[in-house]
Chains A and B, each alone.
Chain A
Amino acid sequence: MKVLFVLLRKEFLQVFRDPAILRIIFIMPLIQLILLPLAADYEVKNINLAVVDNDHSAYAQRLVQKLGASGYFRLTHYALRYPDALRTVEEDQADVIIEIPVGFERDLIREQEPVLAITANAANGVKGSLGGAYAAAILRDFNQEIREELVSLPRLSPLPSIPVQPVYWYNPYFNYKQFMVPGILAILVTMVGSFLCALNIVREKEVGTIEQLNVTPIGKAQFILGKLIPFWVLGLMVMAVGMVAGYIFFGVWPVGSIGVLFLVSALYLLGVLGIGLLISTYAETQQQASLMSFFIVMIFVLMGGLYTPVESMPYWAQVVTWFNPPAYFIEAIRMISLKGSGLADLRPQLLAMVGFAFLFNGWAIWNYRKVKA
């Protein structure tokens, strides 16, 4: 016990002595936490619209006005001919083109079903395809309006209709920050927990001080605990600092219990530290450790459901996420923060975290050799 205490003191001294490391542990995550949610806004708005109006009729004008007033579109170009409009798309100045055909109004009134062409720039990911969908929805609306004007409908419409009334729970104003801040915090805690831990041990290997530790009577368990506990504490500190920062800068504070949040984080960090330990047992140099970390971080970040929902992945990729610890943590932290989920609701996530903690730490300890082969 006393040996462990001495080791812990040494580790903490080492961390707090090095201002560069401290800066990295606290300042960089903070900056990211403040900047990233500002950028991470999926909401599709300001879709640039180019209009080719070949009809110049009252209806055509009304349609254009309706599109502009919808809030999704920004009318940026009035092109005379379709090829001109295409050029604006090529130059990324417009995302969607609407072409109103010659005789649009006339054909509409004469029941000849005029054809409106929507062209969306689908190279632009979400924006183009959603823009096309929104434009189509607005046009259908417009169509309905015209229809109601032209046909004098009886009070009870002869056609059955099922209006859909959406209700949005937990985040009715679609505040994207409430969703992103917990997720980004989860990733930052993960990085601090695992990679600093891995690099710290590999550094001892590379510089050679690990040999010195190995010839001392320090046991395997004491050595590993001595490395894990400081980073466990640091990870929880980053978590706390990040939550306060989220509140100060974005007014985002968990709806659920803080106690549950920290319990989950503490459990999760155990598994993450295990990953760090595992990397360190396989890597001989920090360069190797960094390459492994890079690969793992990218999987963590891109397949953890932070940016693209796990449900959108093909089935095999969803199976991969079952083995991705941050996927559980991101889900859990969002559930607690947004919906106030309690321990009973989080049972699958908690079980997974306990499982990961045993799996990775057990594997790492099994693979850790005090004596070089």
Chain B
Amino acid sequence: MEQLISFVRKEFLHIARDWRSLSFLLGLPIAQMLIFGFALSNEIREAPFVVIDQSGDADARRLIERFDASNYFALAGSLPDVAAAETVFRRNEARIAVVFPPDFGEALRHTQESPIQIIADAGDPNLAGSLVNYANAIVADYQRELYGTAKPPYAIALETRMLYNPQLSSAYNFVPGVMTLILMLISAMMTAVALVREKELGTMEVLLVSPASPITVALSKMIPYLLISLLNLLNILLLSYFVLDVPVRGSLALLIGVCAIYLMASLALGLLISSATSSQQVALFISLIGLMMPTLIFSGFMFPIENMPKPMQWISHVVPARWFFAIVRDVMIKGLGWAGIWRETLVLIGMTLFFMAMSVKRFNIRLAD
């Protein structure tokens, strides 16, 4: 025990002496939370659109004004014909083109039906789909205005409730997501690099010939980073509560407890990576590319997991981030208690134990070499 304490002290000295790394370790999560908490969103605003108005009449102009006045679109110019739209799209200068037929206003007044065409740049299919939806809504609004006071008969009223997130704030989704990402990467990457560094510099041999058991060596590497990560967690929660206005609706103690489990899993993963590599370059690349992208993708905060092909869904089951993200969202946003998250938590605990056992085992084997 005494040995462990002195080892941990040594690690702390190492970390504290390298103030540049330490300030990065503590400053990064704060900066990232702020940047991504505010910047990431799927809302669409002011998408540039062009107009191909073959009619030039007042009705078309009024509808164009509607588009321009909405938050979703901003007029980027008008074009003589559809061929010209090609160039504009190829330069990414507009997302949609609204085409009015030559007799738009006349047809509207006489035959009462006058179609318009919307050409969408479906290069980004999602954006194109949403923009066409918004365009539809704007046209429908305009149409309703043309009805005047005549209320359409046999109406059904709609009442829409948005549960948990009535303002549809993007931060409610991105804060748990960014938390999942940052906590995993900082702890896994740091443990991995710290251990491999000793290997690369040759000081590992010195540690190994010391009377300390390999578990002591591993633990002494993990404890300081666990403490730093807990401090980071505290910062993240304070920021999300006070600055980003994301509530913690469930029990705070439960949330912190689950985060601690997740951090242990990440640290053990870092240990595992370090036992499999012998250069910091490789360790870093595995933790950056090998952990970051899967965490981003399979946690489900960017893309719904149910949309993935079946094999991908299976893969997502072995990614700790998936379970953690679900728990954080349940506790923070939905306000569920232990009864709502026990299954996910058990899986997470199981994974943590597995990673720990694996890494300690691998660590031993290396010593025997």
Q: How far is the CB of A346 from chain B (nearest CB, A)?
A: 8
Q: Are A150 and B153 in contact (CB under 8 A)?
A: yes
Q: Are B156 and A114 in contact (CB under 8 A)?
A: yes
Q: How far is the CB of B305 from chain A (nearest CB, A)?
A: 8
Q: Are A287 and B18 in contact (CB under 8 A)?
A: yes
Q: Give chain B's interface secondary structure class.
A: helix
Per the bound structure, the CA–CA distance linking A243 and B315 in Å amounts to 25
Q: Are B21 and A285 in contact (CB under 8 A)?
A: yes
Interface residues of A (CB under 8 A from B): 18, 20-21, 24, 28-29, 32, 35-36, 38-46, 86, 89-92, 108-109, 111, 113-129, 132-133, 136-137, 139-140, 142-143, 146-147, 150-151, 156-172, 174-176, 178-179, 188, 191, 195-196, 199-200, 203, 206-207, 284-288, 290-295, 297-299, 301-303, 307-309, 311-314, 317, 320, 331, 334-335, 338-342, 345
Question: Which chain A residues border B306 with CB–CB below 8 Å?
Answer: 46
| Chain B interface residue count, Cβ-Cβ cutoff 8 angstroms | 121
Question: Which chain B residues border A29 with CB–CB below 8 Å?
Answer: 289
Question: Which chain B residues border A179 with CB–CB below 8 Å?
Answer: 123-125
Known: A118-B158, A295-B28. A311 touches B44 (CB 8 A): yes
- Which of B4-12, B136-144, B213-221 contacts the other chain? B136-144
Indicate if B119 sits at the interface (CB-CB under 8 A).
yes
Mark B97-122 against chain A: 1 for CB-CB distance below 8 A, else 0.
Answer: 00000000000110111111111111
The 8 closest A-B pairs by CB, nearest first: A317-B39, A122-B165, A174-B125, A168-B122, A122-B162, A125-B173, A123-B164, A291-B24
Per the bound structure, the CA–CA distance linking A117 and B39 in Å amounts to 32
Q: Are B161 and A159 in contact (CB under 8 A)?
A: no
Per the bound structure, the CA–CA distance linking A360 and B248 in Å amounts to 42
Question: Which chain A residues border B149 with CB–CB below 8 Å?
Answer: none
Question: Which chain B residues border A291 with CB–CB below 8 Å?
Answer: 21, 24-25, 28
Q: Are A160 and B125 in contact (CB under 8 A)?
A: no
Q: How far is the CB of A290 from chain B (nearest CB, A)?
A: 4
Q: How far is the CB of A168 from chain B (nearest CB, A)?
A: 4
Known: A114-B157, A164-B116. A20 touches B123 (CB 8 A): no
Q: Which residue of A lies closest to B284 (CB)?
A: A290
Interface residues of B (CB under 8 A from A): 18, 20-21, 24-25, 28, 31-32, 35-36, 38-47, 63, 87, 89-92, 95, 108-109, 111-129, 132-133, 135-136, 139, 142-143, 146-147, 150, 152-166, 168, 170, 172-173, 181, 185-186, 189-190, 193-194, 197, 200-201, 277-282, 284-286, 288-290, 292-293, 296-298, 301-304, 306-309, 312, 315-316, 326, 329, 333-334, 336, 340
Q: Are A123 and B154 in contact (CB under 8 A)?
A: no
Q: Are A165 and B118 in contact (CB under 8 A)?
A: yes
Q: Are A172 and B122 in contact (CB under 8 A)?
A: yes
Known: A172-B122, A290-B280. A158 touches B112 (CB 8 A): yes
From A41, A151, A311, B308 is in contact (CB under 8 Å) with A41
Q: Are A123 and B163 in contact (CB under 8 A)?
A: yes
Q: Are A338 and B123 in contact (CB under 8 A)?
A: yes
Q: A35-B297, A139-B156 given; name 16 further pairs at CB < 8 Å.
A: A119-B161, A128-B163, A146-B154, A162-B114, A162-B143, A163-B113, A165-B118, A174-B125, A200-B281, A203-B280, A286-B281, A290-B284, A302-B39, A309-B124, A311-B45, A334-B124
Q: How far is the CB of A69 from chain B (nearest CB, A)?
A: 18
Question: Which chain B residues border A309 with CB–CB below 8 Å?
Answer: 42, 44, 124, 127
Question: Which chain A residues border B112 with CB–CB below 8 Å?
Answer: 156-161
Per the bound structure, the CA–CA distance linking A123 and B304 in Å amounts to 12
Per the bound structure, the CA–CA distance linking A115 and B334 in Å amounts to 26
From A164, A285, A342, B118 is in contact (CB under 8 Å) with A164
Q: Are B158 and A116 in contact (CB under 8 A)?
A: yes
From A123, A164, A167, B334 is in contact (CB under 8 Å) with A123
Q: Are A287 and B193 in contact (CB under 8 A)?
A: yes
From B87, B122, B164, A170 is in contact (CB under 8 Å) with B122
From A92, A157, A169, A293, B326 is in contact (CB under 8 Å) with A92
Q: Are B47 and A311 in contact (CB under 8 A)?
A: yes
Q: Are A334 and B123 in contact (CB under 8 A)?
A: yes
